[in-house]
Structure 1
Amino acid sequence: MTTRQLRRAATTTAAAATLALLAACGEDGTGDRAVSADGTPPTSALAAGTHLGAVEITTADEPGLRRFYTRGVGLEVLERTDEATLLGSDGTGLLRLVVDDAPADDPSEAGLYHSAFLYDEASELAPALLRSSQIAGAAYQGSADHTVSLAFYLGDPDGNGVELYLDRPVEGWEWTEEGVTMGSAPLDPNAFIGENLDEADLTATPDGVTLGHLHLRAGDLEEARAFYQDALGLALTARTDGAIFLSAGGYHHHLGVNTWTAAGAGQRPDSLGLRVVRLAVPDVGELDALATRLEEAGVAAERDGDTVTTTDPWRTTVVVTVQA
């Protein structure tokens, strides 16, 4: 056996010791779907090119979370003050940590189910997965082959859900009259790490990590659909038991919303965890159209130059800006 093969075997053994194999993320994503009339991606009111901005979460342990998201996930510190830290990749902000001493997040309330960080290459995802699972206070939670993507789930040191994932080529995504096919087949994290990790990759900073999607907890799916689809302008791309998925521009989803733990929840109390969801639209015309949709839907919003701020039915702040 070569030195390289020995190192790969050692890395795989370490991964096996670190990652406890758990159930593949609960819901299987294969229930009733209703979105696309002709087997193509549905058209969203928000234009193609719309994407997520930096999600904002509050924490009483900024150093612990900063360590997890930099040394583990592979983000970089872009800005830091006593009150907040902006983390990102290639100069783009993806996550803002705001220092707070509020009570801990309650999974039975509306809030953040997970933030999902998208990698360009399996060779960048594998070391991030291994590093993240070894950070003190982090917890490996499972994995799944979602047909459109390969996904691995963890909890950060505060218990916020985190997904690290890799998209499959868009040409292979299946769109039916019921929407995009997103399954939940078993995915062995140890095999994935063993196949895609060299020892030299362990400390490498990944290039171009993005915030691929957010998944939220909510109290009612129809209220969530009315706000995020009808008022905000995302298109419904898939539906399963207890969850809906929405996107702009034909992506499988920029936003998931579920009621798996928070069914019936009302407006969120002040707590740690999710604080602000951000979207960026391509131009001012898109922002104008959004402001009109919100007004026609009776949703309160404030316009300040190239920014529209509103709140969803559970008191989560949603900020939409024009791309810089």
Structure 2
Amino acid sequence: MNFHQEPLTFVGTVNLKVQNLERSLLFYKEVIGFKILEQTETTASLTADGKAPLLTIEQPGDIVPQTGRTTGLYHFAILLPTRADLANIVQYFAEIGLRLGSSDHLVSEALYFSDPDGNGIEIYADRPASEWDWNNGEVHMTVDPLDFKELLSIKREHPWNGLPTGTVMGHIHLHVSELPKTEEFYTKGLGFEVVSRFGNQALFISTGKYHHHIGLNTWNGVGAPPPAANSVGLQSYTLVLPSEEKRNEIVNQLKSIGAHVTEDFMTEDPSGNRILLKV
């Protein structure tokens, strides 16, 4: 399962804006099991392995709550190394009484909930890629009930003790204002492949035949506006690229479709979702 390393392009870090840093830190440490990598008065960087940041949170001075029906974050998705890890965190969430949703997507088993600001979170474990069903270049994904009884019956070596080393940012799922220009940006610009479509409402894209590194949907309405710049929610996310050569190639592709890229390699999709291109 090498879908989050070279030579692929994948999501590295998600950067969020929150209303109260201390409240968010308590949630991300005690409920999810992140460790603090770095912290200032208004920002914090969170990690699973003590080295790589997976999530950063920031409390801007003029922050306002989320407003509905805008573009931006639908959820970010934390990928656990094993199914036993997922069983462990299910057991832990039951013990602390966390309210959550769940789904069996065939390619993966997933839990869904939100942080104190309403930022959507998925925690999931992948099924082996050899079990994924592909047809005409598209991977088959469903929204079936998760079999908690069977999941919790698997053998586990130890109880939940925070996010294990090997946890990565599995994917990000975004609200966008429309799909045609968005698809062009992510495929012709950033070089992703469409691996699944949900009617004319959502598409899922990846590199290296992963089931998806990015999800894109119009469920907040076609033409949905971007949120206010000082709103709680997604600040930006990082795409990790395998080389400087690949980044230069992508920058040229983005410019060829009319997208702007700053000198520090920040770009925006057609809905205003900000993306940092990192090697």
Q: Name the CA distance, whole Å, in 2 between partners of 1:111 and 1:133.
A: 30
Change (3 A) 1:126 1:67: farther
Inter-partner Cα distance in structure 1 for 2:238 and 2:87: 28
Deviations 1:263-283 (A, max 9, x none): 321333221111101101011
What is the distance in 1 between the residues matched to 2:116 and 2:95? 11
User: After the TM superposition, which parts of structure 1 deviate over 3 Å for at least 4 consecutive aligned residues?
Assistant: 129-136, 196-200, 202-205
Taking the TM superposition and a 5 Å limit, the aligned residue runs for 1:1-324 are: 48-90=7-49, 91-100=51-60, 101-132=62-93, 139-140=99-100, 142-177=101-136, 179-189=138-148, 191=149, 194-196=152-154, 201-241=159-199, 242-270=201-229, 271-304=231-264, 308-322=265-279
Distance 1:168 1:300, change over 3 A: same
> Take 1:209 and 1:112, find their aligned partners in 2: how far apart are those partners?
20
The answer for unaligned runs of 5 or more in structure 2 is 1-5
Q: 1:264 to 1:125 in 2, by over 3 A?
A: same
Q: Which amino acid aligns with 2:67?
A: D
Query: How far apart, CA to CA, are the structure 2 residues paired with 1:314 and 1:58?
Result: 18
- Counterpart residue type for residue 57 of structure 2: L
Given residue 173 of structure 1, which amino acid in structure 2 is its aligned partner?
W
Q: CA RMSD in A?
A: 2.1
* TM-score normalised over the length of structure 1: 0.77
- CA distance in 2 between counterparts of 1:128 and 1:222 reads 38
Q: Distance in 2 between matches of 1:292 and 1:267?
A: 26
Q: CA deviation at 1:320?
A: 0.5
Segments of 5+ residues of structure 1 without an aligned counterpart are: 1-46
Tell me the CA shift for residue 48 of structure 1. Answer: 3.5
Structure 1 counterpart of 2:86, one-letter code: L
Question: Whole-Å Cα distance in 2 between the matches of residues 50 and 319 of structure 1?
Answer: 12
For the residues of structure 1 that align with 2:156 and 2:194, how far apart are their CA atoms? 39
Shift in CA distance, 63/132, structure 1 to aligned 2, threshold 3 Å: farther
Distance 2:130 2:226 in 1: 40
Q: How many residues align?
A: 270
8 Å contact 2:42–2:58 — kept in the other structure? yes
State the alpha-carbon separation in 1 of the partners of residues 8 and 238 from structure 2: 14
> Residue type of the partner of 2:70?
E
Percent sequence identity over matched residues? 33
With over 3 angstroms needed to count, the CA separation of the structure-2 counterparts of 1:72 and 1:129, relative to structure 1, is farther
